[in-house]
Structure 1
Amino acid sequence: MADVPKLVSGERLKDAFPKINQAIDNANEAKKESGQAKTESNQALNVANQANSTAGGVQNQLDTLIIESGTSDAETLQARTDSNNTTFASLKVRLDSRDAMFEEVALNVKKFGVKGDGVTDDTAKLQVAFNYAIANKKDLYIGSEILVNGTIDIVRATGDRDVINVRGSGSLIKNNAGDMFSSSGTNRNGGNIRFSGGLTFKSTAGAGTRILNGAKLIRIYFDNVNFLNVDSLLVVPRTNVFPYDYIQTIYLSDCTVVGGIGYFINTYTAYDVSFLHSVMEHRDAGFNIELFHSVRIMDSVIEGMDGRVFMGVSGRNLIISDNYMEANARVTNQPYIEFQDFSTVDVNSASVTIQDNLIIGSPEQQENINYYAIKFKTLFTNLIIGGNSCDVNLYQVTLKHTITPEFLKVAYRERIERSGRFCVNTRPSQPVILGGQSLLRDVRIPFLETVGTVITNTGINKVADVAANVTLSTTSELAMLLRVVNATAQAGFSTRKVKLSSSTKYVIGISGYTRKRSGAQPTTIVKVMDSSNNVVWSTSLDWENKKDVGKLDDFHSLTPFEVSNTGEYCIQVELDPTDGLIPADSGLYISGLTVQAGTIASNINSYKMESAWNGEHLMMGNYSLWIDGNGKLRVKNGRPTNDADGTIVGTQV
């Protein structure tokens, strides 16, 4: 911008116009530059003020740190100042301010007079808080330790399904027996409560504290909740009368359960119960649910329990999967998972899934060759297993005749981490395929073809007729058991076909027994049938009547036989009708059957038997031979009644 010459005295106006216009232009330009300078000046001032404010906030923190040096750390002092550079007198003051903001969403129970000092009984005041929350559809906030000596009554109107959220980092404490929450309503609609936010339920182990009256409260949810020394979440005994004999919709997710006496969930019947992504440890026992319907225990850590993880009877949709279970049942020596007496339920409709669990036994369990982690009274028809890993014996089935080839094929693929331990009932995890002419004995191992078929007729039932608490012999690996009720036709087993050659002596070896609870037992007939279903040879068996399933098997080597023509034959084992009728409640049990070339059959390549008087000792005709406690061979016409029965054979050195 150039300087403008000044006007000269006497200069004409027309000659001065250029100078005047140039001066005006220069003035306008100067004004414009002045405005820009002012803007930049203001911006610089703002930056300076912001820096000053930030410096002031830091200075406040530093001043506090200097003033209170030695009483608090820098991080805590810094937390007193919020994002708006507002510094509170203490961290507590700032948190209280935040709680006040939170109460716009959830009501602090202290507003209803709850003291929350962990000493004063706040049952009555807490009841007022819950009544208000339910009536006004408000959530509750618990941020302190609240003692509840009594029971909070949750009453909901019929159809009221609004969920009341109870959240906070505080504790609800009950150190006496009884329920912390129940309902006096008669519509079984009490509930619809969700506890969350790190809330803790506390008690004294053995006090008999229950958190819920499960017979009255349904739809209760626990999300990120802790249970410390709480004996039971709920207890609903089978003696309760319908509709108060079951629990419904109880969910626990991301919870921690530590300490307590008894089962954490103990109920006769359960509908829709979940324990997910949670931890349970160092307490008495886990879950006792006799009849289960949609129960899930999944993706959790369960360890250090004195008793069982789960005990049940039957039901539908039980899933126990993807869990880590270690050193449970360490005091009681019970299984981790057990299914007991099924006499009152239909096992054929039950459905159970036990998959992808890691089971680690305690040191004592690992050393105990007779310890099993999972025990069934009987195998369910709809049982799904697989992907489980274990360092102790895995599956034990009391009624061994319910073990199916399908179950064995999967069980043999389970991972047994410790040598010398079994996947199921003393069977190692690697199958042994038998060769030769073995027939029904193949039932003891996985096989690809049908071993045998049951000869069908009206009145036959393949489910065992077993009295309660009667167990099978521990020496019998697996068997087929046939129960007959007033059958008028053939009843028994037929093996698959096997090739036999003419002019060769064969012998049949068979293990098992018949049983009849009362009256005369039926005779067992063994037949060799040709391809046209003609009988080419037969004999009868005089098995001892075993009224109780727990008796030991008898092994018989039958009379040798020959066939006239080389070809395929099958073996039939039947109960012989008496006067055209097989007596009611007759049982036929076969644990092994083999056909061998020769004159004496054995149930293994070289037959070895027990020597005790009450074991599987040698029978020759009617004579029993056994070794007594002094190592002497004894003989008796008939079966011995004690170790010293019968007569010592000859002179023994």
Structure 2
Amino acid sequence: MANAPKILDTDYLDEAYPKINKAIDNANEALNKHGLTDSKADEAVNTANNAIETAKLTQTEFRQAVLQGDSSPLTGVLSVGADGTVYEEGPQERFVSEHNQISLQLKNDPKLEYESTGFATWKQRFESKSINVKDFGAKGNGTTSSTGTDDTLAIKSAIAYAATIRAYETVLSPGIYEVYETIYLPPGMKLSANGRLNKNATIRYRGEGWAIATSGGFGEHRRNVIDSVQIDLNSSTASGGILIGSLTDDTIIPVDHDFVNIEILDVKSGQVGFCLKNASGITMTGCRFNKGSGGTGLLIVASGNNTGVMAFNGCCFGGHKQNDIGIELRHGSGGLDGFTFNGCYFGGKKPFLISGESGVKNVTLNSPHFEATTVSEEYYAMDIKSVHGLTINSVTFFGKVDPNFVGMVFRGQCSGVVVNGVDANEFLNGTVYKNLFTSSPKNSILSYSYGSGTNRSIIQTSGNFDDVVLVTSNGTKTNVTEAKTIKTDVIIGISSGKKIDFGASSPANDTPLQARGRGDYRFNTLPAELGSTGSKYIIHGWSNVGSGTPGTIQECRMLTGN
């Protein structure tokens, strides 16, 4: 293709137009090129760009062109196109308009593409930056060829190519992809399925280690997105489904990752569906790790660095008949801080486990559901160790008629635990709260509101519940049994709203005075025998017979018989 000649200062209008049209023809010829190899496609794009650069120069030079026959001011603002159209705006404006039209065609026309197998279209490569694994030879038909070829190399090649051209997304088209080696995601890469979960893209993993993992060194495990991908752990030697971070290098700190609609199937004993190590800034929505024959759904590990600032929305961690652990927060030499779970399901022999030595801070669960199955050993829905700042709102414990089922068990020193609203429907003969530590939890509020069991224990302890407010209903089915000691300042009945507290003097002597209701009662913590012989008494406490601040209070005396 010959380059379009430049317009000279001495050219007349009829000499300038052929040169302009030649530049336009060159651009159109580049636009309509088909059936090119990789190098030819680049040549076509470069040729089109050269034509556009020539056109830009022509815009400037055209303003200096000598108009044939008439150089009057009126003629100077007229320009006649090749088809006879008169452009009154002037020659420069006309060319700018035509140049913009050609540029728009080059941008939007999907026809200019690579014909060789395994390369993305021109539009994909230079504009959308989305690479499809099937363009690199992935079959996605759930089989391994007679020559032993699977989809591993094709997927890895697509991701490597996407990283080279700085594409932001690698797409798995509908299909089942046979994979035998770990797929590593470089920083900033999105791996997604272009369709609905369970209807399209499944990675059937048959190798060792992890099916998918982040890659890079210090500071590089950042900004990955995995969307609507299903992983089938079809290997007994696999470590698990997805690893974010490094299990061997504590300097790796993953940040800013989003995971949407991921499902991991067939998690076996000793395997982990999803692992986050030393990570922060994680968002997980609609993910499911609840099918298998053991193992852990989600494992969050802090080792050498703090881990936290994570939000989980509408996720399913563990199956009550399928997995050993639904989710585990494991604190080692690094701390765990800042976790929010909204509307999540937890199942397994231990649906929610906090383990380790360093402690966990600031965990919030809104409307969680814990489901148990019948087991021979004692079973804990929430097995909590050394947690400080745990808030649970509207929790459901579903015990499946199992007397061994315990709602929450406290290990180590726990404090600041607030539980608002417990539904223990079908909980039956289990225990709501159990303490396995000398004095835990401290400074906490524990509540219990509803359940259909007949022999249930609300609190069962081998130590003390110190500085705990126990809020419970006064129904016949809610009994506090087997508690050696319960230490609390205030007891409030949910049904009645009446308050029982403790003190050495009447509420009328409190500083400042507190609002009290009719029926509230204070036990005297320093009783002494008073009165004269024959009518001695002790002050048992003080009862409110009227509401107010502090309200109308009557002293309650008991005769001693002396």
Offset of residue 332 of structure 1: 5.3
**Which of 346, 351, 354 pairs up with 2:389?**
351
CA distance in 2, matches of 1:178, 1:404: 42
Aligned-partner residue type, residue 501 of structure 2: E
2:537 touches 2:559 (CA, 8 Å); kept in 1?
Answer: no
> Which residue of 2 is the match for residue 164 of structure 1?
190
Q: Which runs of 5+ in 2 are unaligned?
A: 1-120, 195-199, 247-253, 462-469, 476-484, 492-498, 506-523, 542-557
CA distance in 2, matches of 1:220, 1:302: 22
Offset of residue 337 of structure 1: 0.7
CA distance in 2, matches of 1:172, 1:152: 10
Aligned-partner residue type, residue 298 of structure 1: N
> Which residue of 1 is the match for residue 179 of structure 2?
148
> Which residue of 1 is the match for residue 501 of structure 2?
449
Which deviations, in whole Å up to 9, do the C-alpha atoms of 1:294-353 show, x marking residues without a partner?
A: 2223212334x243333346322212221232225846542011113x4xxxx6xx2111
> Which residue of 1 is the match for residue 133 of structure 2?
109
2:538 touches 2:560 (CA, 8 Å); kept in 1?
Answer: no
> Which residue of 1 is the match for residue 161 of structure 2?
132
Matches within 5 A, 1:309-388: 309-312=352-355, 314-328=359-373, 330=375, 333-340=378-385, 342=386, 350-363=388-401, 365=402, 368=403, 371-377=405-411, 380-388=414-422
> Which residue of 2 is the match for residue 203 of structure 1?
233
> Which residue of 1 is the match for residue 525 of structure 2?
496
Offset of residue 405 of structure 1: 8.2
> Which residue of 1 is the match for residue 281 of structure 2?
249
Aligned-partner residue type, residue 164 of structure 1: K
> Which residue of 2 is the match for residue 294 of structure 1?
338
Aligned-partner residue type, residue 206 of structure 2: N
Offset of residue 188 of structure 1: 3.7
Which deviations, in whole Å up to 9, do the C-alpha atoms of 1:529-568 show, x marking residues without a partner?
A: xxxxxxxxxxxxxxxxxxxxxxxxxxxxxxxxxx9x9888
- Residues 1:381 and 1:141: Cα distance change in structure 2 (over 3 Å): same
Offset of residue 185 of structure 1: 2.1
Q: Normalising to structure 1: TM-score of the pair?
A: 0.46
Offset of residue 597 of structure 1: 4.7
**Which of 345, 350, 362 pairs up with 1:307?**
350
Offset of residue 164 of structure 1: 2.4
> Which residue of 2 is the match for residue 421 of structure 1?
456
CA distance in 2, matches of 1:333, 1:199: 36
Offset of residue 354 of structure 1: 1.7
Q: Which runs of 5+ in 1 are unaligned?
A: 1-98, 157-161, 237-244, 433-439, 454-494, 506-562, 571-594, 600-653
> Which residue of 2 is the match for residue 182 of structure 1?
213
- Residues 1:382 and 1:333: Cα distance change in structure 2 (over 3 Å): same
2:435 touches 2:460 (CA, 8 Å); kept in 1?
Answer: yes
- Residues 1:425 and 1:451: Cα distance change in structure 2 (over 3 Å): farther
Tell me the secondary structure at the aligned position of residue 172 of structure 1: strand
1:353 touches 1:383 (CA, 8 Å); kept in 2?
Answer: yes
CA distance in 2, matches of 1:109, 1:415: 53
- Residues 1:298 and 1:199: Cα distance change in structure 2 (over 3 Å): same
2:380 touches 2:408 (CA, 8 Å); kept in 1?
Answer: yes
CA distance in 1, matches of 2:487, 2:300: 42
2:221 touches 2:245 (CA, 8 Å); kept in 1?
Answer: no
Residue 265 in 1 paired to residue 335 in 2? no
Aligned-partner residue type, residue 167 of structure 1: A
Residue 285 in 1 paired to residue 325 in 2? yes
Which deviations, in whole Å up to 9, do the C-alpha atoms of 1:122-156 show, x marking residues without a partner?
A: 32321221122233223222122222211223333
- Residues 1:406 and 1:285: Cα distance change in structure 2 (over 3 Å): closer
Aligned-partner residue type, residue 394 of structure 2: D
**Which of 247, 261, 269 pairs up with 1:224?**
261
Offset of residue 356 of structure 1: 0.7
CA distance in 1, matches of 2:486, 2:530: 21
- Residues 1:152 and 1:204: Cα distance change in structure 2 (over 3 Å): closer
CA distance in 1, matches of 2:177, 2:136: 13
Tell me the secondary structure at the aligned position of residue 150 of structure 1: coil
- Residues 1:327 and 1:504: Cα distance change in structure 2 (over 3 Å): farther
CA distance in 1, matches of 2:201, 2:222: 21
> Which residue of 2 is the match for residue 275 of structure 1?
312
Aligned-partner residue type, residue 324 of structure 1: H
Aligned-partner residue type, residue 258 of structure 2: Y
Aligned-partner residue type, residue 130 of structure 1: I
Which deviations, in whole Å up to 9, do the C-alpha atoms of 1:165-187 show, x marking residues without a partner?
A: 52232111213331223345222
Aligned-partner residue type, residue 417 of structure 1: S
Q: Which runs of 4+ in 1 moved over 4 A?
A: 99-105, 328-332, 403-406, 426-432, 440-445, 502-505, 565-570, 595-599
2:378 touches 2:406 (CA, 8 Å); kept in 1?
Answer: no
Tell me the secondary structure at the aligned position of residue 133 of structure 1: helix
CA distance in 2, matches of 1:163, 1:254: 20
Paired residues, what number?
Answer: 343
Q: Identify the range of structure 1 (397-406 vs 168-177) with the bigger mean alpha-carbon deviation.
A: 397-406
- Residues 1:126 and 1:165: Cα distance change in structure 2 (over 3 Å): closer
Residue 192 in 1 paired to residue 223 in 2? yes
Aligned-partner residue type, residue 264 of structure 2: F
Aligned-partner residue type, residue 295 of structure 1: F
CA distance in 1, matches of 2:453, 2:310: 34
CA distance in 2, matches of 1:234, 1:331: 28
Offset of residue 501 of structure 1: 1.9
CA distance in 2, matches of 1:372, 1:296: 23
1:194 touches 1:222 (CA, 8 Å); kept in 2?
Answer: yes
> Which residue of 1 is the match for residue 152 of structure 2?
123
Offset of residue 110 of structure 1: 1.3
1:450 touches 1:496 (CA, 8 Å); kept in 2?
Answer: yes
Tell me the secondary structure at the aligned position of residue 126 of structure 1: helix
CA distance in 1, matches of 2:532, 2:412: 45
2:351 touches 2:370 (CA, 8 Å); kept in 1?
Answer: no
Tell me the secondary structure at the aligned position of residue 425 of structure 1: strand
Aligned-partner residue type, residue 357 of structure 1: V
Offset of residue 569 of structure 1: 12
- Residues 1:265 and 1:445: Cα distance change in structure 2 (over 3 Å): same
